[in-house]
Chains A and B, each alone.
Chain A
Amino acid sequence: MTAIIKRLEPARAMVSARDVAIGWSRDAVLVEHASFEVQRGEIFGILGRSACGKSTLLRALIGLEPVLAGEVAIEGRTEPRLVAGRPRFGVMFQQGALFGSMTVGENIALALERWTDLPRDAIRAIVRAKLHLVGLDGAADQAPATLSGGMRKRAAIARALALEPPLLFLDEPSSGLDPITSAELDRLIVTLAKDLGLTVVLVTHELGSIEAIVDRCALLDRPARRVIALGAPRALRDSADPRVNHFFHRVPEAA
C-alpha cells in the first residue's frame, strides 16, 4: 500500500536551489540568485571557468558552506543537510579525500560500520562488491597513498556509494587526470547512474565530460555572478549569448 502511495506522489525534484547566494561573506558574493532543479535520475552539471564558484556552490548544496540567501532542498527537505544522522547522499571530493590512516577497504567500510548493524564479514563482502563496481578489485588492503589519482577518485566513489544513496555529488571528477582515465571515469559515472538509478550532481569545466555525460547543466559566470544558462549542453552550445557560446567553443576572452 505504501509503495503505491509513494508511486502516486508527484515527482519531486531531487535537489532544488531557489534564489541561492553563496560566497565567503556578504561583501564577497561569488554567485547570487541561483535557481535550478535537478530531477530524479538526471546527471546535472555545474559548469563554469576556474574560480567562478562552482565548487563552493556544490559545497553549499551539500551543507558544507553557508548559503547566504535563498533555500536549498534535497528531496524536498531543506536545511540542515549535514545533521548528525545517516547521510542521504554520497560525495566525492576533488582529490578523493580518502582517510590516509585507513586502508581503502576501511574507508568504504566506515559508514557501513557506523550506520548499519551488519556483521564484519557482510561488510567485507559489500566493500569487495563496491570496489568491483568501480573497477578496483583487490585494492581493499591498499593504503590510499599508494593509489594513482584516478584510482583514488574511483575509491572515493565506492566510498560515497557505501550506504546506497540515491544521490551522488561529484566535485571535478576529471580534474588532474589524463584524457583516457578521465574518459573511463566518465563512462563509470554514466554506468553507475543508469544501472543504480542514481541522480548525479557534478562540478566540472571539462568540455569533453560535459558533452559525454551531462544531461542538463547550469553555467556560472564570474563577472556576472549568476547562472547565465540552464539546459542541455547540446542546446547551450549554440546559444545566442556570447558568454555561453564562448565557453562551449573554448573562445578566450577578448584581450
Chain B
Amino acid sequence: MAWHVEHRAGAIALAGELGIGDAPAIWRQLSSQAGRLAANERVAIDLTAATAVDGAIMALLVDLRASLAARGVPAEITGASARLRPIVELYGGDRPSVAVHPARRTGPIARLGSGLGGVATSVRRAIEFGGELVAGAAAVVRRPSLGGWRDLATLVARAGTDGILIVLVLDILVGFVMAFQSTRQLANYGANVYVADLVGIAMTRELAPLITAIIISGRSGAGYAAELGTMRVTEEIDALRTLGIAPVPYLVIPRVLALAIAAPILALLGDIAGVCGGLVVGAASLDVRPHAYLDELNRVLIASDVWTGLVKSAVFGVAIAVIGCQQGLSTRGAASGVGRSTTTTVVACLFAIVAIDTALTVLFRGISA
C-alpha cells in the first residue's frame, strides 16, 4: 500500500502517496479514527510523511477538519512539505476552519406543509390562468385581430391530419379486440349479431373519443407544453409582450380552437374505424355477414350516441390544449423545465380526460333520462 493513515497521540498522521484512487479507503480510515476523538482533544492532521496529496484528498481533509470543529475538536492541518503547501493553501487548509454543521433535515410535517403549499400555488396559478383565458377569449371575440389566426390552419392540420393514421389504426384494433373478447359469450346465447350493438355503442359513446383524446394528449398536449415552454425559456414570450401582443389571445386561443375542431373530427373517424374492426371479427368468427352487421348497427345506433361522443371529444380537446398551454407558459428554468412541463401535461391531461368523461357521461344520462 502506497499510503498509510495512523492515529498517534494528538495527531492523525498520513503517509505516502494519497490520491483519488485510494480515497474511499482513506476516507473510511479517517472517519473511523476521527470518531474515536473526544471533544476538546486537540488534534493535528499531520502531513509530514505524505509525499503526494491530490485535490480530492485535500477536500476530504478540509471537510474532516470542519466536521471535527463542529464537534468541538479543534484540528489543524500541519507538516505539509514545501511541495504540498500550494495545494494545501489552494484548498484553504492553512486557514482556520469554519465549523460545518450538517444540514438540518426537514421533518415530515414541514415537508407535508411545503407540499401542500406547492399544491395551493398550483391551484392558484390554474385559477389565474383560467381568468386570463376567459379575458383573452373575450378580447378575441371583441377584436378578432388579436388572435394568432395565421397559425390556426397549421395547428388544426398538425393535430388532425398528422394524427389520423394512428387514431384509425388504434380504433380498428380496439373495435377488433372488443368484438373478439365477446365472441364466446355472444355465441353461447346465439346473440352473434349483437356484436354490432356492443361495438357500435361502446365506440361512439366512449372509446373513440377517449382513445382520440389520449393520442392528442401525447401528441398535441405535450407538444404545446414543449413549444410554449421553449418560447418561455428563450424569452420569446417576453419578446411578444414587449411588441404589445398578449400571449393568451395570440398563442393559446388558436391552439384551444384547433383542438376543439380537430378532436371531434378524429373521434368521428375513430367511430368508423372501430365499427370496421368489429365488422371484421363479426364476419370472421361470428358468421355475421357485413350487411347484417350494418343493418343491426343502423337499427340500434341513434344520433345522440354519436353526437354525445363528439361533444365529449371537443371538450377533451379544449381541456388538453388549455393544460398544455398553461404548463408551457408557466415553465421555469432552462431545458429541464420544458421536460418537466411536458411530463406534467401528459399526466394532467390523462387525469382530466377521465374526470371530464365521468362528469359528461353522468350529465348526458341525466339529459336523456
Binding site for B on A (CB under 8 A): 59, 62, 64, 82, 84-87, 89-91, 93-95, 97-101, 110-111, 114-115, 156, 159-160, 162
Query: Which of the listed residues B151, B236, B243 has the most CB atoms from chain A within 10 Å of its own CB?
Result: B243
A97 x B234 contact (CB < 8 A): yes
Binding site for A on B (CB under 8 A): 139, 145, 151, 230-231, 234-236, 238-246
Given A98, A99, A114, which contacts B244 in the complex, CB threshold below 8 Å?
A: A114
Q: Which residues of A contact B139 (CB under 8 A)?
A: 84
B243 x A114 contact (CB < 8 A): yes
Given A84, A94, A110, A162, which contacts B246 in the complex, CB threshold below 8 Å?
A: A84
Q: Which residues of B contact A114 (CB under 8 A)?
A: 145, 243-245
Expressed in whole angstroms, the Cα–Cα distance for A3 and B108 within the complex equals 69
- Determine how close the nearest CB of chain A comes to the CB of B117; give it in whole angstroms: 14
Residue of A nearest to B139 (CB): A84
Q: Which residues of A contact B241 (CB under 8 A)?
A: 64, 82
- How many A-B pairs have beta carbons closer than 8 Å: the answer is 57
Expressed in whole angstroms, the Cα–Cα distance for A62 and B238 within the complex equals 10
Expressed in whole angstroms, the Cα–Cα distance for A159 and B139 within the complex equals 25
Q: Which residues of A contact B234 (CB under 8 A)?
A: 95, 97, 100
- Determine how close the nearest CB of chain B comes to the CB of A97; give it in whole angstroms: 4
Residue of B nearest to A107 (CB): B239
- Subset of 12 A-B contacts with CB under 8 Å: A82-B242, A84-B244, A85-B244, A90-B242, A97-B234, A97-B236, A97-B238, A100-B236, A101-B151, A110-B243, A111-B244, A111-B245
Expressed in whole angstroms, the Cα–Cα distance for A156 and B246 within the complex equals 19
Q: Which residues of B contact A160 (CB under 8 A)?
A: 242
Given A95, A101, A111, which contacts B235 in the complex, CB threshold below 8 Å?
A: A95
Residue of A nearest to B240 (CB): A99
Expressed in whole angstroms, the Cα–Cα distance for A85 and B242 within the complex equals 10
B236 x A87 contact (CB < 8 A): no
Residue of B nearest to A169 (CB): B242
A111 x B239 contact (CB < 8 A): no
Given B145, B151, B242, which contacts A62 in the complex, CB threshold below 8 Å?
A: B242
Contact A94/B235 with A114-B244, A114-B245 known, Cβ cut-off 8 Å: yes
Q: Which residues of B contact A115 (CB under 8 A)?
A: 244
Expressed in whole angstroms, the Cα–Cα distance for A91 and B139 within the complex equals 25
Contacts A84-B244, A99-B236 aside, 9 further interface pairs with beta carbons under 8 A come to A62-B242, A82-B241, A86-B244, A90-B242, A91-B238, A93-B238, A97-B234, A114-B245, A115-B244
Residue of A nearest to B250 (CB): A114
- Determine how close the nearest CB of chain B comes to the CB of A200; give it in whole angstroms: 15
A97 x B235 contact (CB < 8 A): yes
- Determine how close the nearest CB of chain A comes to the CB of B325; give it in whole angstroms: 15
- Determine how close the nearest CB of chain A comes to the CB of B226; give it in whole angstroms: 12
Q: Which residues of B contact A159 (CB under 8 A)?
A: 239, 243
Query: Which of the listed residues B236, B239, B241 has the most CB atoms from chain A within 10 Å of its own CB?
Result: B239
Expressed in whole angstroms, the Cα–Cα distance for A97 and B145 within the complex equals 23
Residue of B nearest to A87 (CB): B244
Expressed in whole angstroms, the Cα–Cα distance for A108 and B319 within the complex equals 33
Given B145, B151, B242, B246, which contacts A91 in the complex, CB threshold below 8 Å?
A: B242
A91 x B244 contact (CB < 8 A): no
Expressed in whole angstroms, the Cα–Cα distance for A156 and B243 within the complex equals 12
Expressed in whole angstroms, the Cα–Cα distance for A64 and B240 within the complex equals 11
Q: Which residues of A contact B245 (CB under 8 A)?
A: 110-111, 114
- Determine how close the nearest CB of chain A comes to the CB of B330; give it in whole angstroms: 15
